[in-house]
Amino acid sequence: MIPGSFSYHRPATVADAVKLLADLGDEARALAGGHSLVPMMKLRLATPSHLIDLHGVTALKGIRREGNNIVIGAMATQHDLLGSKDIGQSLPILHETALLIADPQVRYRGTIGGNVANGDPGNDMPALMMTLGASYRLEGTSGTRDIAAAEFYQGAYFTALEPGEILTAISIPVAPAGHGYAYEKLKRKVGDYATAAAAVMLTMSGGKVATCAIGLTNLHETPLLAADAAKAVIGTGLDAASLKKAAQAAEAIMAPAADARGPVEYRKHVGGIMVTRALQRAAARAK
């Protein structure tokens, strides 16, 4: 189908974009990569009267290191992420996850900011950002504020963004040297959302897990942090019993929808398997 008619705006600064959103109100939508919004417009599920294209806002682009944090501009693409040496050296799990998102054509256009700000439970980056302890910079007419990724997601497609606000950057603490990481994703075919996926970041000491964080993708109406599952493996050598306990703790908080990817119980079961595999692979990488 063809989208309905709309007015097109291409601001050059964040301030201009924020003002346009404030002035135009509910009739305006910000455009990042467009992989969610444009298909919805074609199906007439979204019919904005004004489209505010953020591609002209230079301040929203780029990836840089600031002290002990990696800062990613909201309009950086998945392809930019894969080409970043800072990411490769400090947060290689981002490379691993980006390579599992859709296909090269999508990764050239899809933005990190759009992926995390949309509130789509099927997107891969939100749960990973929660696992990494990331925070989001939000800018609006009332000023600038930072919010933890773990506090940003409120429901499917509902987030902490206030009307007129734009997510402008993502800040992620640099992972400790020698950490282990893994993102395990089960999907039906290339380009599909996950049937179930799990992110793991951990450190080892004396052959036992010293720290651990586990995130879950597309297993609830929001991305999840599996805190009890992570606690279950701390202090263990990831023996079979502790892995089983972690998987069960993760499954306990899952509430996936029954859809073409499978019934609820199947998706929870494979979600537990993704957690187990991610823990094992992360531990194997830890130094």
Q: What is the pLDDT of residue 155?
A: 95
If you average pLDDT over residues 195-207, what whole number do you get?
Answer: 97
Tokens representing 151? 């506090």
Strand partners, 213: 201
Domain spans of the chain? 7-54, 62-173, 180-285
Q: Is 80 exceeded by the pLDDT of residue 1?
A: no
Mean pLDDT, all residues of the chain: 94
- At 287, the pLDDT band (50, 70, 90 cuts) reads confident
Q: Classify domain 62-173 at the CATH class level.
A: alpha beta
For 3-54, the pLDDT digits (tens) are 889 999 999 999 999 999 999 988 988 989 887 888 788 888 788 899 999 9
Write the DSSP assignment of 118-150 as a string of letters.
S--TT-SHHHHHHHTT-EEEEEETTEEEEEEGG
Q: What is the pLDDT of residue 279?
A: 98
Contact indicator for 210, 236 with CB cutoff of 8 Å: no
In angstroms, the CA 175 to CA 173 distance is: 6
Same fold: 7-54 with 180-285: no
- At 185, the pLDDT band (50, 70, 90 cuts) reads very high
For 225-257, the pLDDT digits (tens) are 999 999 999 999 999 999 999 999 999 999 999
Q: What is the pLDDT of residue 37?
A: 83
Tokens representing 245? 């306990």
Tokens representing 33? 């990569």
Q: What is the pLDDT of residue 109?
A: 85
Q: Is 80 exceeded by the pLDDT of residue 59?
A: yes
Pick the CATH number of 7-54 from 3.30.43.10, 3.10.20.30, 3.40.50.410, 3.40.640.10: 3.30.43.10
Residue keyed to tokens 């995390």: 116
Contact indicator for 126, 193 with CB cutoff of 8 Å: no
Q: What is the pLDDT of residue 104?
A: 79
**Is 0.85 surpassed by the pTM of this model?**
yes
Measure Cα distances from 267 to 79, 119, 158, 273 in Å: 29, 20, 23, 10
Q: What is the pLDDT of residue 47?
A: 87
Q: What is the pLDDT of residue 175?
A: 96
The residue type found at 190 is V
Q: Is 90 exceeded by the pLDDT of residue 184?
A: yes
Is 3.30.390.50 the CATH classification of the domain at 180-285? yes
Tokens representing 131? 């696992």
- At 204, the pLDDT band (50, 70, 90 cuts) reads very high
